């Protein structure tokens, strides 16, 4: 049985959810996976038969309390400290890699594992819709060079859509969308959340900072993971383990401009609106890619706070269904091994 050591950046939930999608499929194909990440509790629930070894793999942008805007100064301070420790951290990982003896190392999208993989003579693959080189501004030339050197050690890259050009990777494959498959029927999910047959479901997946006063028709149920909604027919939930099921069972999704939620909307053909901060370059890249697809579903914070949710809003956000290529990507990984 082939073995993969899978590193997931500790920044951003979308990285973790798409890694879960890939790991589930690789497991189905008979590949043994070990994960390296700090989010052990979530991963243990999502992948109960897979070993996750707790450890910091990466850092990324610091987001302000509003849940979307980039704090540039704190980001630079945090990322600079991390880059300075890349080699030292990679040296520590060498011991783990020699113990596990993987046939392949995958990273989404920490630069550090490529250094450790190179030092242990293990092939490595990058999987992401961006690299940190593409979305971090203000780095010193020395720091940029260190990241370039680290990413340059990757043997192969799988470039996901809704992102940047990832120009640092020369040997790469441009994939379609990759995200979690649904694990139960739409009817079962609606029943799980107590939705009546007559009700339309609007899933609002935003942070607790948001306060929304929508006008909504009586047959609309709003499900929120954090945003406070001034409306009578609202159900508040914790972060749902299999959120892709709720996306697929919804009539409309309102979310931040993140790869995970938007890819799940596109592959399940679910209407959505999103908010974005152009100073956060990953969000800008995703938003620009949606515009290129002819999807004009961006909404401002002000418009969001006084939203009118009705049948017209839902019908004006129709999208084309896109294929989930998780199986294709996993077959490619197995061929690479």
Q: Quote the pTM value.
A: 0.95
Q: How far apart are the first and last CA of the chain?
A: 11
Mean pLDDT of the chain: 94
What is the predicted pLDDT for the residue at 123? 98
**Beta carbons of 270 and 322 less than 8 angstroms apart:** no
pLDDT at residue 8 is higher than 80: yes
pLDDT at residue 166 is higher than 90: yes
Q: What percent of the chain has pLDDT over 70?
A: 100
pLDDT at residue 217 is higher than 90: no
Mean pLDDT of 154-162: 98
What is the predicted pLDDT for the residue at 174? 98
Tell me how far CA of residue 82 lies from CA of 5, 110, 270, in angstroms.
21, 11, 38
pLDDT at residue 209 is higher than 90: no
Give dist(CA 152, CA 150) in Å, integer: 5
**pLDDT band for position 118 (50/70/90)?**
very high
Give dist(CA 268, CA 247) in Å, integer: 8
Q: Which of 6-20, 133-147, 308-322 has the lowest mean pLDDT?
A: 308-322
How far is C-alpha 166 from the geometric centre of its chain's CA atoms?
A: 16
Of 134, 90, 146, residue with least CA distance to 114:
90
For the chain, domains (ranges, CATH) are 3-177+325-336 (3.40.50.2000), 186-315 (3.40.50.2000)
pLDDT at residue 316 is higher than 80: no
As to burial, measured by CB atoms within 10 angstroms (0-12 exposed, 13-18 middle, 19+ buried), residue 308 is exposed
Secondary structure (H, E, C), 147-172 = HHHHHCCCCEEEECCCCCCCCCCCCE
Tell whether omega for the bond before 109 is within 30 degrees of 0, i.e. cis.
yes
Cβ-Cβ contacts under 8 Å for 270 (sequence gap 6 or more): 247, 248, 250, 251, 252, 253, 264, 319
Of 56, 48, 60, 80, residue with least CA distance to 7:
56
Compute and round to an integer the Cα radius of gyration of the chain.
20
Torsion (CA) 107, 59, 245, 105 in degrees, nearest 10: 10
3-state helix, strand, coil in the chain (%, to 5): 40, 20, 40
218-274 pLDDT, tens digit each: 899 999 998 999 988 999 998 778 999 999 999 999 999 999 999 999 999 999 999
**pLDDT band for position 70 (50/70/90)?**
confident
Mean pLDDT of 309-316: 81
Give dist(CA 337, CA 333) in Å, integer: 6
Beta carbons within 10 angstroms of residue 311's beta carbon: 12
283-304 pLDDT, tens digit each: 999 999 999 999 999 999 888 8
What is the predicted pLDDT for the residue at 312? 80
What is the predicted pLDDT for the residue at 314? 80
**pLDDT band for position 67 (50/70/90)?**
confident
What is the predicted pLDDT for the residue at 208? 86
Phi, psi (deg, nearest 5) at residue 3: -120, 135
What is the predicted pLDDT for the residue at 83? 95
**pLDDT band for position 310 (50/70/90)?**
confident
Of 335, 326, 42, residue with least CA distance to 182:
326
């Amino acid at each position: 049985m082939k073995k993969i050591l899978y590193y997931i950046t500790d920044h951003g939930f979308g990285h973790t959810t798409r890694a879960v999608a890939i790991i589930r499929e690789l497991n189905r194909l008979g590949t043994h996976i070990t994960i390296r990440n700090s989010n052990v509790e979530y991963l243990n629930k999502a992948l109960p038969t897979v070993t996750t070894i707790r450890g910091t793999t990466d850092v990324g942008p610091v987001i302000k309390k509003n849940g979307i805007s980039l704090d540039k100064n704190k980001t630079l301070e945090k990322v600079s400290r991390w880059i300075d420790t890349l080699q030292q951290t990679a040296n520590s990982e060498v011991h783990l890699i020699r113990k596990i003896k993987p046939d392949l190392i995958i990273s989404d999208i920490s630069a550090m594992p490529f250094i450790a993989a190179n030092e242990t003579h293990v092939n490595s693959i990058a999987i992401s819709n961006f690299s940190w080189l593409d979305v971090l501004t203000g780095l010193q030339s020395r720091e940029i060079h260190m990241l370039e050197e680290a990413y340059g050690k990757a043997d192969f890259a799988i470039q996901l859509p809704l992102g940047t050009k990832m120009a640092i990777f020369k040997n790469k494959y441009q994939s379609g969308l990759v995200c979690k498959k649904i694990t139960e029927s739409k009817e079962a999910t609606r029943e799980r959340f107590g939705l009546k047959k007559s009700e339309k479901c609007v899933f609002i997946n935003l942070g607790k900072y948001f306060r929304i006063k929508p006008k909504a028709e009586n047959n609309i149920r709003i499900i929120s993971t954090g945003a406070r909604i001034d409306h009578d027919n609202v159900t508040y939930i914790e972060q749902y383990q299999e959120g892709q099921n709720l996306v697929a069972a919804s009539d409309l999704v309102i979310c931040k401009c993140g790869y995970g939620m938007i890819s799940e909307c596109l592959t399940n053909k679910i209407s959505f609106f999103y908010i974005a901060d152009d100073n956060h370059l990953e969000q800008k890249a995703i938003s620009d890619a949606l515009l290129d697809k002819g999807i004009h579903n961006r909404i401002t914070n002000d418009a969001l706070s006084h939203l009118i949710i009705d049948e017209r809003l839902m019908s004006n956000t129709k999208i084309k269904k896109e294929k989930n290529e998780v199986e294709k990507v996993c077959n490619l990984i197995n061929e690479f091994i």
